[in-house]
Amino acid sequence: MMRKLSLLFAGALMGASAMSLVHGAPSSTANAAGSETYKQLAIFGDIFERVRAQYVTPPDDKSLVENAINGMLTSLDPHSSYMNAEEAQDMRVQTKGEFGGLGIEVTMENDLVKVITPIDDTPAAKAGVLAGDYIAKIDGEEVRGLSLNDAVEKMRGLVNTPIKLTILRQGADKPIELTVVRDIIKVKAVKFRVENDIGYMKITSFTEKTYDDLENAIDTIKKQVPNDKLKGYVLDLRLNPGGLLDQAVSVSDAFLDRGEIVSTRGRDPKDVTRFDARPGDDIGAKPLIVLVNGGSASASEIVAGALQDLRRATVVGTQSFGKGSVQTIIPLGENGALRLTTALYYTPSGKSIQGKGITPDIKVDQPLPPELQGRDLTRGESDLKGHIKGADEGTTGSGSAAYVPPDPKDDLQLIYAEQLLRGQKTDPAFPPNPDKAVLNQ
C-alpha cells in the first residue's frame, strides 16, 4: 500500500504538531502564466524597488520578500505558508517528536497570537497557559503588527531561557503576565493506562513515533490484563491537533482488518490516492470507543472518521475541529520549503469533513469548571478566516469546546465511555442505530 507523507494540522505550531515532508515537486505541466500575470509581477517588482529606495528607513530585502510570499499564501487559506531554511529545519525536527520550544499550538486571530491548545506536561502548560488565551506581548513587545511566523520565532530560543508572555484571557479584568522557561519538548505520542478492566490510550499528536508508541501501549495493556477480563479499549483523540498522514493511516490500520481508511483528492479529478487497511486487528476485535472534541483535528479526524464509517468503533464526545485539508511540503533547497494545501481528504463513506468535522455517534458534553464558566473554548475550522469551504460544511460549521478535565474523576466523556464498555449505560441513544452496535461484535 502506497503511503504518501502529508501535512495535516490545525494551525501554525509552537509544539508537537502536524508537520511532515511530501516527496515531490510541482508538475512541469502546470499551466503557464499568461501575459496579464506577468504584468502583475512587473507591478510587484516596481513596488519592491520603490520601497527599497524610498521607505523612511532601509528595509531588509529578505524580510520584504518573505513577507510578500507569505501574504500571497495566507490569502489562499489559513494553512498554506512559506518556511525559510531555519523554519523548514524546525519542521523536520518537530515531526520526530522532539524539539525546543514552549509547548503551545497557536494561530493568528484579530492581530494577536491565539493559543489553540497547550501541550500536556510542557513549560507552557505548567506555567498556566490555557486554550483560548491571546498573547498580546512577547517580552514586552506588542504582537500586533507581527506575522504569525515572526511571533513564533520570537517565542523560540535557547533551552532554559525565560520568556515573558502578556496574555489576554476572557473573564480576566486585566492582562495576565506569565513567565515561561523554554525547554526541550519531548512529546510522548501515546499515553496509556489500565482502568481495572479497560485499556485507555491517549494519542497526543501524530509524529514519527506515534504508531510504535501505540503498539507498545497495546502490548503493555495486554500483559497487564488477561484477555478474558478486558472489556475493551478507549482511544482518546481529544485535544489532538493532528500530524502525519501516514501515522494516522497506520493507527487506523491497527484496529481494522480491511476496508478503505481514507482517500485524498486534489485539484485534478484524476489525482486520487486511497489508503486501505491490511489484515489483522491488533486488539483482537475487542470493543473500541473513540473520544473526540473541538480540539480533535486533522489526522485525529482521519482516525475517528475511518473507525466510525467502517463501524469498528463508537465515537463519543462533541463535534471535532473540521480540518479536512492536506498540506504538501515542497522542498526549495537552501531556500526553505513551501507548505501548500494540495488536497482534501475523505472518510471511507466519501464524506469531506472540511469545515464540518466528525459528528460523534453519541454526544456527551463536558461542563466547564467554575473558573472557566463564561469562556468560549469552542474551536473549529469554520471559524478560521479564509478557510476552504467544505462541500458538506452546511450552515452549522464545525468544532466544539476544546476542554478535558485534568482529573479523570471529572471527565464525563471518559466516564460515559467506560460505562458503555462495562455495559452499565442503558441510555436509549446507545447504540445509535443497529449498524453502529460495534460493542457487541
Active site residues: 298, 309, 323
Q: What is the 3 state secondary structure string of the chain?
A: CCCCCCEECCCCEECCCCCCCCCCCCCCCCCCCCHHHHHHHHHHHHHHHHHHHHCCCCCCHHHHHHHHHHHHHHCCCCCCEEECHHHHHHHHHHCCCEEEECCEEEEEECCEEEEEEECCCCHHHHHCCCCCCEEEEECCEECCCCCHHHHHHHHCCCCCCEEEEEEECCCCCCCEEEEEECEEEECCCEEEEEECCEEEEEECCECCCHHHHHHHHHHHHHHHCCCCCCCEEEEECCCCCCEEHHHHHHHHHHHCCCCEEEEEEECCCCCEEEEECCCCCCCCCCCEEEEECCCCCCHHHHHHHHHHHCCCCEEEECCCCCCCEEEEEEECHHHCEEEEEEEEEECCCCCECCCCCCCCCEECCCCCCHHHCCCCCEECHHHCCCCCCCCCCCCCCCCEECCCCCCHHHCHHHHHHHHHHCCCCCCCCCCCCHHHCHHHC
Query: For the packed helices 245-255 and 210-224, what is the interaxial angle rounded to 10 degrees?
Result: 30
Are 415 and 429 in contact by the 8 Å Cβ rule? The answer is no
